[in-house]
């Protein structure tokens, strides 16, 4: 279906695409349901997919594997390499140094936290004594870049990771300069979500994105979507005049009616009632086109709830049940749909899945990862009873728990990101169905032991930091004992990641807490 123009926002994009200021950043912001994702898709379809001289890549931070800087940077690089036959030479060499810095003492020659093992292995040299080194100076890089790469040998892993945007930007500028491509567009959706589940400060959580924009400069246009307007000037006043921003509002009466007409709704009274009941918000207009038809009987809606009711009555029961379960998942795959069908006795076939994927409220956030629109999730959850919510979250937890239990060395080696993803989702649902920090600690402790020899360390650090203040507040011997174990585990994890300063700090905490007990004994 045709797109109802956001003329001002589109004009700002075209202006930035045609000009070359020092930095080019367009922030499209607005609350859920205002069409941020649809605008990005429209820009991609109209201006980027068929453009011969523009390269582009997109990331949606609903994929929580991309919340870590090094994973997001390498993901962008791989997307551009696969689509445009680019080669991010200095970035890969820097990434190999990060890999080496984190895992040089590990008996495992691959790492779940740092994927692309096979690519990195090509950059490693192993001498007769089994010592690993990284060939970082050989290759098509200039003297200045080679010097920057050599400096990495003296840095710890956290410092190396902080420099990845610099090498990505350097390679991207060189690749564009030495190719037939004249411009680059990078779309970053839902940047707000990076702030979830992190103990970092507001400015540090997306600092790497600001670093990336600064280093790339005028050679790439960044489109960033968010619910709130980017407040980067609060971190550095220099950003105040750099970002162009556009606030997405409800459609005008004329555009809202045109949208419904383009959706094959002809009845003027129905269209007017829909616009009035949802205040012309794009999500509800889109849901209304799937809820009403001139060929069926209906009651004119007077509010949003009645539009949702009309949608539920129109689609089949199996689709409604499936959507209710999926509303408790932060994303879903085709495999998850099949398991839901088995678990809840739903007859799910290819035709039903195809119908589901054709709805506007289903978004593809990355390869084989889809999400139900947040507004639909919220409204479906609001009409379910408490037992349904408990049942669906318990199912989601068991699904990811079973995924973790099924992992073995071969699976981890072939798909290393699966540990991080399964831990992330199982942890999310565990926190919904059980609020007890001691249960959370025991669960994490079990999986740290299970996956430690697979070099899958990083997924646990953020979760330990979430538990830590809860155990610190508890005033009982069991919580104190678990807190000592937590500090000890964190020290070991940081040591394994090559972050010796943090490791020593937590070992010292273990000693401080143990000393009174030893004196008492």
Dump the DSSP string for 213-239.
HHHHGGG-EEEEEESS---GGGT-GGG
| Token pair recorded at residue 520 | 């008492």
Q: How confident is the model at residue 369 (pLDDT cuts 50, 70, 90)?
A: very high
How many helices (H) does the chain have, and how many strands (E)?
25, 9
Mean pLDDT of the chain: 88
Q: Please give the residue that has the higher pLDDT: either 201 or 394.
A: 394
Mean pLDDT of the 249-271 span: 92
Is the pLDDT confidence value at 469 over 60? yes
Question: CA dihedral defined by 40, 45, 49, 54, rounded to 10 degrees?
Answer: -50
CA separation for the pair 386, 508 (Å, rounded) = 45
Q: Is the pLDDT of residue 328 over 80?
A: yes
Task: Note the pLDDT of residue 109.
Answer: 59
The CATH number of the structural domain formed by 7-247 is 3.40.50
Q: What is the pLDDT of residue 128?
A: 62
Contacts of 197 (CB under 8 A, 6+ apart): 462, 466
Q: How is the chain split into domains, by residue range?
A: 7-247, 253-314, 317-384, 434-521
* pLDDT tops 90 at residue 184: yes
- Tokens 């680059």: give the residue: 184
> What does the radius of gyration of the chain's CA atoms come to, in whole angstroms?
25
Helical packing angle, 7-18 and 36-43, nearest 10°: 40
Query: Looking at the predicted structure, is the pLDDT value of residue 1 above 50?
Result: no
Question: Quick check: 519 pLDDT over 50?
Answer: no
Which carries the bigger pLDDT value, residue 415 or residue 313?
A: 313
Pick the CATH number of 317-384 from 1.20.1600.10, 3.90.1150.10, 1.10.10.10, 2.70.98.20: 1.10.10.10
Average confidence (pLDDT) over 258-272 = 92
Mean pLDDT of 353-357: 94
Q: What is the pLDDT of residue 33?
A: 92
- pLDDT at residue 476, rounded to an integer: 87
């Amino acid at each position: 279906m045709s797109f109802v123009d956001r003329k001002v926002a589109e004009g700002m994009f075209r202006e930035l695409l045609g000009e070359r200021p020092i930095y080019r950043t367009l922030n499209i912001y607005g609350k859920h349901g205002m069409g941020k994702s649809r605008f990005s898709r429209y820009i991609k379809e109209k201006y980027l997919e068929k453009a011969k001289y523009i390269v582009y890549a997109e990331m949606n931070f609903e994929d929580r594997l991309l919340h870590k800087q090094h994973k997001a940077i390498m993901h962008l690089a791989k997307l551009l390499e696969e689509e445009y036959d680019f080669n991010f030479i200095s970035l890969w060499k820097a990434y190999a140094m990060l890999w080496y810095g984190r895992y040089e003492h590990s008996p495992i020659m691959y790492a779940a936290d740092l994927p692309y093992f096979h690519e990195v292995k090509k950059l490693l040299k192993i001498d007769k004594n089994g010592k690993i080194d990284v060939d970082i100076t050989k290759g098509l890089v200039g003297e200045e870049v080679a010097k920057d790469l050599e400096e990495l040998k003296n840095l710890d892993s956290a410092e190396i990771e902080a420099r990845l945007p610099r090498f990505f930007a350097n390679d991207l500028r060189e690749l564009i300069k030495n190719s037939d491509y004249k411009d680059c567009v990078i779309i970053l959706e839902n940047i707000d979500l990076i702030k979830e589940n992190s103990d970092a400060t507001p400015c540090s959580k997306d600092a790497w994105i600001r670093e990336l924009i600064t280093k790339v400069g005028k050679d790439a246009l960044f489109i960033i979507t968010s619910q709130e307007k980017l407040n980067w000037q609060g971190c550095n006043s220099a950003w105040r005049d750099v970002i162009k921003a556009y606030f997405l509002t409800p459609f005008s009466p004329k555009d809202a009616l045109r949208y419904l007409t383009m959706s094959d709704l002809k009845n003027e009274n129905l269209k007017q009632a829909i616009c009035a009941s949802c205040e012309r918000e794009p999500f509800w207009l889109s849901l209304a086109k799937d809820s009403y038809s001139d060929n069926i009987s209906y009651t004119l809606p007077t509010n949003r709830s009645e539009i949702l009711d009309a949608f539920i009555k129109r689609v089949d029961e199996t689709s409604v049940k499936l959507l209710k379960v999926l509303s408790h998942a932060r994303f879903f795959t085709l495999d998850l749909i099949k398991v839901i069908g088995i678990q809840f006795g739903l007859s799910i076939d290819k035709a039903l899945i195809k119908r589901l994927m054709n709805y506007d409220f289903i978004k593809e956030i990355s390869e084989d990862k889809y999400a139900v629109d947040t507004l639909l999730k919220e409204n479906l959850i609001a009409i379910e009873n408490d037992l349904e919510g408990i049942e669906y979250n318990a199912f989601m937890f068991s699904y990811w728990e079973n995924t973790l239990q099924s992992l073995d060395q071969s699976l981890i080696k072939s798909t290393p990101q699966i540990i991080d993803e399964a831990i992330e989702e199982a942890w999310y649902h565990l926190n919904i169905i059980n609020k007890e920090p001691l249960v959370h600690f025991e669960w994490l402790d079990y999986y740290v032991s299970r996956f430690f020899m697979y070099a899958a360390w990083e997924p646990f650090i953020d979760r330990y930091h979430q538990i830590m203040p809860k155990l610190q507040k508890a005033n009982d011997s069991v919580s104190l004992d678990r807190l000592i174990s937590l500090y000890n585990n964190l020290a070991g994890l940081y040591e394994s990641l090559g972050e010796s300063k943090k490791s020593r700090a937590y070992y010292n905490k273990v000693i401080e807490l143990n000393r009174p007990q030893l004196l008492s004994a």
